[in-house]
Amino acid sequence: MSAAKAGFSAQETHGIALRPENRLLIHSEGLGWRNVYASLAEESPWQGRLGSCADYCIALDVGQPAAVTRRLDDRTETATFLPRQFTIIPPDQPSWWQISGNPQVLLVYIRRSVFRRLAAELCRGDPEADPLRPVLAVHDPLVEQLALGILTALRSGHDTDALYVDMLAQSMAAHLLRQHGHQPAARNRPPAQAPAGRLQRLRDYIEAHLEERLSLDDLAAAAGLHPVYLARLFRRSFGVPPHQYILQRRVERAKRLLRSTDQPLTEIALACGFASPSHFSASFRRLVGCSPSTYRRGG
């Protein structure tokens, strides 16, 4: 299985959250997130060189300020990293850091390929060039909101949140390109609507793969659409975002199985693509208003 299919692992990052000075609180290792790796850690004062990493890192301070010195490309910068501010660590460049303080930092790594695909669609210029400026300690409300959405999914610990995380990462990458990119934004407009045949293929694909981990790239390929446009067109066509539609379809399949079979709840959860029986039960109760067992009994 390729790294992309297996998930974005901690070994592919700078390893900041895993440094011995820092206390890792939670990370996405093992959740199967293909395009995103996220970690939350309490950092202690540290300094040292970070080797290069193939992908972009967005660091959000979620608690306690810290004094930061960064040396990148022979340029040294100093800043006070405040809660709600973020920093971009660019790919393929070693850097040197000194952190003084005890910030709680959310690190969100997004595959470079996501940025390159978006840059080719949204920006004028060379899509192979590094599209983002390596900003240090700036505040952007939308970046903060999207990063905290990823943190919420991280804390839930469900691998079926991968599609939702993909959408948040895609939105974050598009916003960063527009607001913090080297290249000017193009004037490309998304299509007004997807052709009916593509929408039907997408419906059929989802129904045939409900038990699997579905990604934004999977859905875009099935619909023959660019991922940057899929979420917007999907909501316009189906009335809800992709992750909510898929959850609804999983619950509908579960209802049919509860009514027509004697399968154990654990088997039904797996057959419908839920991460665990507890995730199945919580999702079912939220959408149907009762537990799977109660629904099976006709309650």
Identify the pLDDT of residue 157. 77
Confidence (pTM) = 0.85
* Alpha carbons within 13 A on the beta-carbon side of 288: 26
Number of domains in the chain: 3
Does residue 291 fall inside a structural domain? yes
Please report, for the domain that includes residue 119, its CATH number.
2.60.120.10
Find the domain containing 218 and state its range. 196-239
Are residue 129 and residue 212 in the same domain, yes or no?
Answer: no
Specify the pLDDT at position 4: 45
Q: Residue 214 domain-assigned?
A: yes
- The rounded average pLDDT for each run of 10 residues, N- to C-terminus, in the chain (299 residues) is 66 94 94 93 96 96 96 94 97 95 97 87 63 92 97 83 90 90 60 71 93 88 83 85 92 95 94 90 93 88
Specify if 185 maps to a domain.
no
